[in-house]
Amino acid sequence: MTLLSLDKVSKSFGGVAAVRGVSLTVEAGEILGVMGPNGSGKTTLFNLISGALVPDSGEIQFLGGRTNGLPPHRICRRGLARTFQLVRPFLGLTVLENVLVGLGYGCRRLTGSAARNRAKELLSSVGLDGQSARPAHTLTVMDRKRLELARALGTSPKLLMLDEFMAGLTPVETGEAMKLIRALQNQGLTLILVEHIVWALLDLSQRIIVLSAGEKIAEGPPASIAKDPQVIEVYLGESATS
């Protein structure tokens, strides 16, 4: 079943065509990887899908309905959540309160003790057991990422988009992040990952699309993407194949 489809979606900022005629689909249960050089339009693509930006042209369908022009909170309530390239917890709130915010917004909104219990479950599932009362500003980078993940999961998404979730992590933490992402897929979640850590993206994704200067230049299973001459030229470099 197709959860998300984009048909020739474009977005320019002044003279910069950030996303140019991109079409793609995301099937239920898969992890779709998105890679490409800095400035190739990956975050803009997430902003278009989540409703933070409105496409200049093209069509976006999520769960069978058109979402172009809907505000982000309406798209979120249909079951789409995302995390940000620069993590954005509410620093003045506790860990638990941050997740309660997510629970108040999604497609299965919870309040009161039901929300607190669900928040604790989510914190435990991302590895933040026992951290509920900590102010978010005291967390390490990895733990802020865990918190952002729990907050996004609090909206009960069917599709979760992670923008450079592994950036800034140590190799050990990257391994932990990969385990978390696999566990989410095993629970039935569909994911789109934007990552510069190529080996992790190749390992996690069933399918990859590659953007260059806003255009989709390749699409396919990780093994064929890693060997694609155009992808090697614009992004991977020779080292990826040797």
Ligand X SMILES: Nc1ncnc2c1ncn2[C@@H]1O[C@H](COP(=O)(O)OP(=O)(O)OP(=O)(O)O)[C@@H](O)[C@H]1O
Q: Give the binding site for ligand X (CB under 6 A).
A: 13, 16, 18, 36, 38-44, 85
How big is the site for Mg ion, counted in residues (CB under 5 A)? 3
- List the single partner that 44 binds among Mg ion, ligand X, none, CB under 5 to 8 Å by kind: ligand X
Displacement of CA 131 from its chain's centroid (Å)? 24
Return the number of the residue (5 or 85) whose C-beta is nearest ligand X: 85
Exposed / middle / buried, residue 40 (Cβ in 10 Å: 0-12, 13-18, 19+)? buried
234-242, Cβ contacts within 8 angstroms, sequence gap of 24 or more = 234/36, 234/37, 234/210, 235/35, 235/36, 235/37, 235/210, 236/198, 240/198
40 binds Mg ion (CB under 5 A): no
- List the single partner that 151 binds among Mg ion, ligand X, none, CB under 5 to 8 Å by kind: none
Q: How far is CA 129 from CA 1, 112, 113, 146, 198, in A?
A: 35, 20, 18, 11, 30
Pairing of strands 190-194, 31-35: parallel
CB of 29 to ligand X, least distance (A): 25
- List the single partner that 40 binds among Mg ion, ligand X, none, CB under 5 to 8 Å by kind: ligand X
Stretch that binds Mg ion, among 12-20, 84-92, 114-122, 220-228 (CB under 5 A): 84-92
CB of 199 to ligand X, least distance (A): 17
Return the number of the residue (42 or 145) whose C-beta is nearest ligand X: 42
43 binds Mg ion (CB under 5 A): yes
Return the number of the residue (42 or 118) whose C-beta is nearest ligand X: 42
